[in-house]
Structure 1
Amino acid sequence: MWTMVPAILKFSNISDWTIIAEDISDINIGSFGNFVENRLLNTVVFSGFGLQDREYPLLSAGFILSRSVIETIRKVDRNERWSGFAIDAKYEFSLLIHKWNNVIMEHNPTVFCCGDIFDTCIVTCSLPAPPVHAEPLLDSEIHVMIKTFDGHHQNRLSVLKNTWTSDISRIEYCSNKEDLSIPTVDLGVGNTERGHCVKTWAIFKRFLNHSGKGAKWLVVADDDTLMSWKRLKQMLEMYDPEEKIIIGERYGFGFGMDGESGYDYPTGGSGMIFSQTAIESLLKTCPSCAADNDPDDMTIGICAVTSGIPIIHEHRLHQARPNDYSPEYLQEPISFHKFTDIDPIFVYYKYLVDFDNHPDTFKTEL
């Protein structure tokens, strides 16, 4: 929402039809004529591949808006502010269109396609792939730091060590107490009930001054985050670690309809990835937290704006559990967050392990 509406408001002219898709979507404009030939230009059209009761679109499969819908959006008060947090762009965009023009999205999976592919597809969902010339990223070039505290050493860390962190060579479990049996690192800062800004800043400083030598990337994750190490590395091969980059599941806060206010931030539970130059720039701009329990991810977003660091959205990083998402949205996920009311071991092997490479793993582990 906080990118699509501002972009529409900046159109220099309006076309009869507008297709919105992601940069990884496959577009076949040859099928476009068949879709619009029987539709009047003044018809209200909002059509795509619907998720969750088929009422909002899967962005990677694209969607189309008629001129009348675009005109309605462009009549919005540009000084109006989106209330509070911006979390799910596709849902929030659909909600606004329904609010402004009482339009409900038409589910059209033979034109905006994901899974089953048809000759009629205008847009087909796809997944990003590393450039053909990209060199494989070595394990030694990624340093992982897990945020935890002594109350979670035995329960949560045992899950991580039996799943995704078991084969990682460069990892530190960052806590408020040292425990040599794991082992954990005492960061020298106390635990806070929420926010954790002071802990994350201590992680940044430790990475730069002590443990990050030779690493191109820092991955910061919660102690109830599950990740696919293989897919994480493949994703990072698409980016240049020499650039100032922060990658995460991007949320936003305080945006106006014109996109000129508010800020993005990488939501912490899904995992946050930083190039070394990004961390150096963050600490130069914001050497410390305003308060120990400030939200670390939102503080990162504020400091990133000042530092000119882009927050890159990776839709395969997830702040919630698999059952909190539509099945079609979960294409080769990289992470999930929270162990509440799930079996994290089962979730890890079902969603985050590639069995083509480990055909016997599931039977052996479970």
Structure 2
Amino acid sequence: MHKNLFFHALFFFPLLQELFIGHALRDREATIIHHFAFSNDPLQFRYPHFASGFAMSQALLKKIAYRLDCGDHPDMDFSIDPSHELALYIWENGKGPELTHASQLCLRNHPQCASYPLEFHACGNPVAKESMYFAVKTCSKYHKDRIPVVKHTWAKYVLHIGFYSESKDASIPTIDLGVPNTEHGHCGKTMAMLKHIAMIAPSLQDVRWVVIADDDTILSVARLRQLLSCFQPSKPFAIGERYGYNVQRSPQGYNYITGGGGMVFSMATVRQITGSTYCKCPSDSTPDDMFLGICLARLGITITHSPLFHQARPLDYAPEYLNPQLPVSFHKHWMVDPLRVYEKWFSKVDQQMEADYLAQKHVEL
């Protein structure tokens, strides 16, 4: 952030008014990540790009403090996108100010920018392919349409992968967990997956990271390898897209990693989860990602949020939000071609890192 330029960008705004200032984003269509707000006209509502920075006038801050002191907290169970939810709270159904767009709070750097998001850079060499185990959660009704997508895209670039189902299918092959499929929740299946991984860990001595993905998760193995270079696998880590449940209403609220975007655990975390009496599913159909959030909280393992994971499809996000990013994942095949999504967002970087990997292996031989 350029402090002088930031002050200059705010200089001409009247400080005595209630002002909320940022780089404005607008949804192109109603989306689940914003609770389908403004479904008739999503473009009418502006919310800030947090990574570009935002500002509030003193008058607005005083009003927010007064509302909170009076018990007027945001009325929502789930916290998904804090930028949109904050803008809704401030707008207060039309009684409060709308976001004022400031072009100096940029998406990318240029000379007139007061602030802009930093592009992600790896912290060192990408983690080794050998250090990652990918666990794909599936069921028999999706074996023929979703699993081929996984195999034709990102799974080409992994060394260790297991397809976990409620039935055996030698053509894939799947690992039958002995847990019946449920329409919702899947806690029983996910915990059985983690237990199976912990059981086979001695035969996967190089594996340090476990990635759990749905069969309709679309991801980049290369970008995951780059991201994980910033973490120590010997420590208990849980990485993904953070959601919150009742975090603004109750001390019993908790954070969790939303499963569709992919959940990454260090092997140390997998061992703690599977060895703990705190992490037994209430039922097979309990929401697995939410219960894992409770489990991790009980174990004292902090969830690390990364905005590079995405629970929804690319079209569910404002294009300007995705523009400066290097995404790790998207989720859902509904009304999109997953092969095209992979080709647009992930194919090139995965191919390049695979070429580098093969070249290095050739040198070693």
Q: What interval of TM-score do these two structures reach, taking the shorter chain for normalisation?
A: 0.7 to 0.9
Whether 1:72 and 2:63 are equivalent positions in the alignment is yes
Q: CA deviation at 1:260?
A: 4.0
Q: 2:6 aligns with which of 20, 32, 46?
A: 32
Q: Which residue of 1 aligns with 2:320?
A: 328
Q: Which residue of 2 aligns with 1:87?
A: 80
TM-score by length of 1: 0.85
Q: Which residue of 2 aligns with 1:315?
A: 307
Residues 79-98 of structure 1 show CA distances to partners (whole Å, capped at 9, x for unaligned) of 54642111111100100011
Q: Matched residues, percent identical?
A: 35
Q: Which residue of 1 aligns with 2:39?
A: none
Residues 85-135 of structure 1 show CA distances to partners (whole Å, capped at 9, x for unaligned) of 1111110010001118511111112x11013x343322111223222xx34
Amino acid at match of 2:285: N
Q: 2:247 aligns with which of 240, 255, 259?
A: 255
Amino acid at match of 1:64: A
Give 3-state SS (helix, strand or coil) of 1:64's partner: strand
Amino acid at match of 2:99: M
- Alpha-carbon distance in structure 2 between the residues aligned to 1:120 and 1:264: 37
Count of matched residue pairs: 329
Whether 1:304 and 2:278 are equivalent positions in the alignment is no
- 1:108-187 to structure 2, matched below 5 A, reads 108-109=102-103, 111-115=104-108, 117-131=109-123, 134-187=124-177
Residues 238-292 of structure 1 show CA distances to partners (whole Å, capped at 9, x for unaligned) of 11112211111111111236x7441111001110001122222223143421111
- Alpha-carbon distance in structure 2 between the residues aligned to 1:62 and 1:81: 21
Residues 300-350 of structure 1 show CA distances to partners (whole Å, capped at 9, x for unaligned) of 111111111111111111111111111122222111111111111111101
Give 3-state SS (helix, strand or coil) of 2:348's partner: coil
TM-score by length of 2: 0.85
Amino acid at match of 1:299: F
Q: CA deviation at 1:188?
A: 1.8
Contact 2:126 2:227 in 1 (8 A): no
Q: Which runs of 5+ in 2 are unaligned?
A: 27-42, 356-365
Whether 1:97 and 2:87 are equivalent positions in the alignment is no
Contact 1:225 1:271 in 2 (8 A): yes
- Alpha-carbon distance in structure 2 between the residues aligned to 1:357 and 1:72: 52
147-156 or 211-220: bigger deviation? 211-220
- 1:158-307 to structure 2, matched below 5 A, reads 158-211=148-201, 212-256=204-248, 260-283=251-274, 284-307=276-299
- Alpha-carbon distance in structure 1 between the residues aligned to 2:111 and 2:292: 45
Contact 1:225 1:338 in 2 (8 A): yes
Distance 1:186-1:356 versus aligned 2 partners, 3 A rule: closer
Distance 1:33-1:340 versus aligned 2 partners, 3 A rule: closer
- Alpha-carbon distance in structure 2 between the residues aligned to 1:276 and 1:137: 14
Q: Which residue of 2 aligns with 1:364?
A: none
Q: 2:22 aligns with which of 48, 52, 71?
A: 48
Q: CA deviation at 1:206?
A: 0.9
- Alpha-carbon distance in structure 2 between the residues aligned to 1:95 and 1:172: 42
- Alpha-carbon distance in structure 2 between the residues aligned to 1:91 and 1:215: 38
47-56 or 78-87: bigger deviation? 78-87
201-210 or 35-44: bigger deviation? 35-44
Q: Which has the higher helix share?
A: 2
Residues 34-83 of structure 1 show CA distances to partners (whole Å, capped at 9, x for unaligned) of 12333333132211111114610111111111111111111123554642
Contact 1:332 1:352 in 2 (8 A): no
Give 3-state SS (helix, strand or coil) of 2:175's partner: strand
Q: Which runs of 5+ in 1 are unaligned?
A: 1-26, 362-366
Contact 2:179 2:188 in 1 (8 A): yes
Give 3-state SS (helix, strand or coil) of 1:231's partner: helix
